[in-house]
Chain A
């Protein structure tokens, strides 16, 4: 049976991970390769790297660390952050990334999804969507790392992204992100029942039960967490053992 995936997310800046971790025996807590290897050994099903480097000369740095990660781990990984062209994607895939995720660039030019999906196949195009519920009760998408609201409604955008060839949706509720109060189950379940592609739940994981809910109530195919794993509140084996006991199929 296809397993539900547990995905640690690493924020990268200038070739180093940004958030600290509690992996005490690491030589350097910021080292991307060591962190990736550690998560890989712990049984992570996939890794997501979000490159938040703002500088424009980022490409060559990024290529280097992506290659290092690819040499070190034997599970799939996705790279996102500032990707806006076929050339960007070509380079990342050549460096060993399995999937790329796009966000702001797709919202400002939706045709990018069609182009990437045609050129590289839908399976490597993850459309990341950051959204928040506004006063009118509707969910709206945000761009630029959550700094700017758009007029595009969440569900409309997710549907359009899939129609254009997205292979996976990474949905982050900004309302829940960092709160450790659980994933936003309501929009999550709307999205998972609306689209045909896999959906990654993101934002809000704080307990074992939150992972269970993302799958059982939210219908997600994968659950992503960052701080929770980095700071060691929960480990991947703990999460997977819990899910397995609750009857959720995982890779142990």
Chain B
């Protein structure tokens, strides 16, 4: 199986790679269109700021490639947010539009970023199979709103938001499965075995 992690200069690729290796698989890091288009599984990581990350993605022409993929794609954190239609981050940015939702900034009394282990619930879809409701690791200041057509896991922090989303072959998780102990490993395994 060919697993490609999209390389566009985003931060946490090494931990995603090692998480995959702990499960007995190998992943390659690439920004090459041919590599990405011939992959069996594509992981779209992301840490950082939406508008600069989107600019990097466009520089490499990957904004056109990603939405056309037919194999399972997993966007993590900012990767998930960039698959949405629009982000409020950095004065506003247009996303890839795979999901129609808007990415909004948390507003309220609690600390921002939403950082640490929080509960996910209302789990559905194959990547959540065998995963029980429990705590996973989040670190983000912006969130994807809930859309019942696409949200496959919820989380509460100053209101309800999408902890995970799915549309056809596209999956997105707001938390970091690669940093969410055994629970997260199970989800990555599920994704790789789709």
The interface of chain A, by Cβ under 8 A from chain B, is 1-5, 40, 45-46, 67, 70-71, 74-76, 93-96, 98, 118-124, 167-168, 196-199, 221-222, 251
Contact = CB atoms under 8 A, between A and B. Distances in A.
Contact of A198 (B12, B78, B115): B115
B180 A198 contact: no
Contact of B112 (A4, A5, A121, A197): A197
15 contacts: A2-B110, A3-B118, A70-B18, A74-B181, A95-B14, A96-B14, A98-B15, A98-B139, A122-B113, A123-B113, A168-B113, A196-B111, A198-B111, A221-B111, A221-B116
Given A1-B119, A96-B12, 5 more contacts: A3-B117, A5-B117, A74-B179, A95-B14, A96-B18
A123 B112 CA distance: 9
B interface bracket (residues with beta carbon within 8 Å of A): 35 or more
Interface in B167-194: 176, 178-182, 184-185
B122 interface: no
Contact of A67 (B14, B19, B119, B179): B14
B114 A2 contact: yes
Contact of A121 (B48, B114, B182, B185): B48
Nearest to A117: B49
B21 interface: yes
B113 A198 contact: yes
A76 B48 contact: no
Contacts of B115: 123, 167-168, 198, 221
A67 B139 CA distance: 21
The 4 closest A-B pairs by CB, nearest first: A96-B14, A121-B48, A251-B117, A3-B117
Given A45-B116, A120-B48, A222-B116, A74 B180 contact: yes
A124 B47 contact: yes
B100 interface: no
A188 B190 CA distance: 42
Contact of A1 (B111, B118, B139, B182): B118
Contacts of B14: 67, 70, 93-96
B112 to A, nearest CB: 6
Contacts of A76: 137, 139, 176, 179
Interface in B1-50: 11-15, 18-19, 21-22, 47-49
Contacts of B182: 74
B11 A93 contact: yes
Nearest to B11: A93
Nearest to B50: A121
A98 B116 contact: no
Nearest to B77: A123
Contacts of A3: 116-118, 135
B124 interface: no
